[in-house]
Structure 1
């Protein structure tokens, strides 16, 4: 019995001691102490790497004066266009023009059969002569007192009525003739000689192509840069580039597109540019202060705005939204960038606004590489 009790007491003592040891927590260091010691240098190295400023390449580009280029899609149109129609019904007696003819203002385009209209004019002329003679006789009698004033007034009224009838007869005869209202080209002839036409019937289409107009739509954002009289260029679909001037800018925007109609007048003395041809209009605004940068420099801000990143005087990253002035073979011409900005040209996508960086001046070879030029070129 005593021996059995001793073992129980020994086991109880061991259990109490083990429980006390577990309560101290010292057992955890047995297997993990070495792992903790190995992990600490790695964490410290990561923290040091995180704290070290990232090295980026920067440049301070020279300033240039560049005229903003605004490009619009458009098409050529005739300066004037008229659909000629008959002013009276009748049979076509003369049709001296065909499609493609060049006519001058006042040239005959169509003549209807006169029928009895010339006779009406001749008769009206005779009536006028008779009324003039009657008035002359009445005036002589009135001076001698042998004619009442009322009869003299009647003679005057009769002459005026005769003249009015003559003018009507001449106008009716003139309605048989259709003449060109301006210099141009007969683009379409809708009738044939000898055919019958009704009053108001379409006869021919006349267009004027000197100057030829190139019409397009300009956005409300670019409207402030352009005014009437500015120089413009148009690249035709056949590859030809022609020059002209802005002739008209609409003062009311299209409700659907919020754009404004614009017309560029292009000299076309030989009429070689037809109407209806597709063209790209290039408008040039007044020169403004800008910089030329490689396309790869442009990036997005944390809010999705298009711009460039730069390093300020404290080597902190700042973001500048850009104003695209032009897109040239040498790079993008950008406005809205401060003169002293150190623009990040390498590493701009690896940093965020507010980050501290280590800016290093980019060499000429790197700038050429970013611009897409072969290394080593001058």
Structure 2
């Protein structure tokens, strides 16, 4: 114990002799020296404690069992997790192009319809009567026109009479064409394949342009949209592969490329929109289902990756881990300071402090300290 106190006193003595200048480089050098001295002291303390506990005579029985992983370079992908929502690419609120009373609704909520299927029909009694009247008037107009034409070809009668008969006939033809178009508009058909989500109006009610009668949605052509922080904009590109999962369907994971990236940053939350088109072969996905999207922020082809849980912080917030070193034929846990980079999930990338082949303690890391005798779990 006296030796331990003496060593600590020596360190403080050294510290007191250092310059108290404000030069940043000098301060950094002092910090580095102090860390080295602390590490040496901890090592010596561990050895002394080992002697007191009799570890020197029975090191194997008193050593700590640990699991290690041998460090090697590997690829590390750093992801960004964002929440998205499923939307339909093809969806419509159906309303008629003309006013009229609904005569018949041919579909119900949940029905699947093909493009061109009649969804509902408006009453056409007045339109049909108008068509019959126009046809009668047009027949007379054609008769008069033909007679006037024959006379005009024989240079009999005036040109004005001929032109009036011609204009009357053509005007009635145009009116008949228009009213036939309106008759066709009375039958509202599906503009695409899809499911009837909801019918809003009933037979006998008045329908008009802009007032929705039913909602039609296509579930085959879906997309996922999400808001992403502008901080990640430099790394987002159309075509980047993403992974999409769904809390409602835990076993369903879809990988698809980003199909579009928004051109505007939302000033309220500083985000931009992305869209990913996704298949829906089994029709299990529905619009507005929540999704979790994993976006690739960076890919590091060669990196040292360790479990984040083994990383500790000392009093000065310096990160360190324990490696296994061999000293005098014994395996010793050695405190090693590191600098970390990106992290994702349970793993962190180490950018300095380690080298290939280092043995990182990942099991029993919370049981050891600098200088502890250890033995490796071979299982």
Q: TM-score, normalised by structure 1?
A: 0.65
Tell me the equivalent position of 1:332. Answer: 348
Residue number among 323, 326, 342 corresponding to 2:353 in the alignment: 342
In angstroms, what is the RMSD of aligned CA positions?
4.2
Residue number among 307, 310, 313 corresponding to 1:294 in the alignment: 307
Tell me the equivalent position of 2:213. Answer: 203
The CA deviation at 1:229 is: 3.4
The CA deviation at 1:235 is: 0.9
What SS does the corresponding residue of 1:227 show, helix, strand or coil?
A: coil
Establish whether residue 364 from structure 1 lines up as the match of residue 359 from structure 2. Answer: yes
Contact preservation (8 Å) 1:232, 1:282: yes
Establish whether residue 172 from structure 1 lines up as the match of residue 211 from structure 2. Answer: no
Tell me the equivalent position of 1:277. Answer: 289
- 1:43–1:186 distance in 2 versus 1, CA, 3 Å: closer
Establish whether residue 222 from structure 1 lines up as the match of residue 227 from structure 2. Answer: no
The CA deviation at 1:60 is: 12
- 1:149–1:319 distance in 2 versus 1, CA, 3 Å: farther
Counting only pairs closer than 5 Å after superposition, residues 1-150 of structure 1 correspond to structure 2 as: 44=10, 46-48=12-14, 53-54=36-37, 55=39, 62-150=72-160
Give the Cα–Cα distance (whole angstroms) in 1 for the partners of residues 157 and 76 of structure 2: 89
Counting only pairs closer than 5 Å after superposition, residues 251-270 of structure 1 correspond to structure 2 as: 251-270=263-282
Contact preservation (8 Å) 1:290, 1:333: no
Establish whether residue 245 from structure 1 lines up as the match of residue 257 from structure 2. Answer: yes
What SS does the corresponding residue of 1:83 show, helix, strand or coil?
A: strand
Contact preservation (8 Å) 2:117, 2:190: yes
Give the Cα–Cα distance (whole angstroms) in 2 for the partners of residues 375 and 128 of structure 1: 103
Note the residue ranges of structure 2 that are not aligned, 5 or more in a row. Answer: 17-32, 44-68, 322-335, 368-374
Contact preservation (8 Å) 1:82, 1:206: yes
- 1:45–1:203 distance in 2 versus 1, CA, 3 Å: closer
The CA deviation at 1:180 is: 1.5
The CA deviation at 1:134 is: 4.2
The CA deviation at 1:293 is: 3.3
Deviations 1:261-317 (A, max 9, x none): 222221113322112222101234674445223325487998x9x9999xxxxxxx9
Q: TM-score, normalised by structure 2?
A: 0.65
Contact preservation (8 Å) 1:213, 1:265: yes
What SS does the corresponding residue of 2:93 show, helix, strand or coil?
A: strand
Contact preservation (8 Å) 2:100, 2:207: yes
The CA deviation at 1:109 is: 1.0
- 1:137–1:294 distance in 2 versus 1, CA, 3 Å: same
Contact preservation (8 Å) 2:113, 2:195: yes
- 1:244–1:128 distance in 2 versus 1, CA, 3 Å: farther
Give the Cα–Cα distance (whole angstroms) in 1 for the partners of residues 296 and 11 of structure 2: 56
- 1:40–1:80 distance in 2 versus 1, CA, 3 Å: closer
The CA deviation at 1:97 is: 0.6
What SS does the corresponding residue of 2:213 show, helix, strand or coil?
A: strand
What SS does the corresponding residue of 1:167 show, helix, strand or coil?
A: helix
Provide the aligned length of Structure 1 versus Structure 2: 304
Contact preservation (8 Å) 2:221, 2:278: yes
The CA deviation at 1:146 is: 3.0
Contact preservation (8 Å) 2:228, 2:271: yes
The CA deviation at 1:99 is: 0.6
Give the Cα–Cα distance (whole angstroms) in 2 for the partners of residues 124 and 251 of structure 1: 55
- 1:248–1:137 distance in 2 versus 1, CA, 3 Å: farther
The CA deviation at 1:217 is: 0.7
Residue number among 130, 151, 163 corresponding to 1:153 in the alignment: 163
- Greater Cα radius of gyration, structure 1 or 2: 1
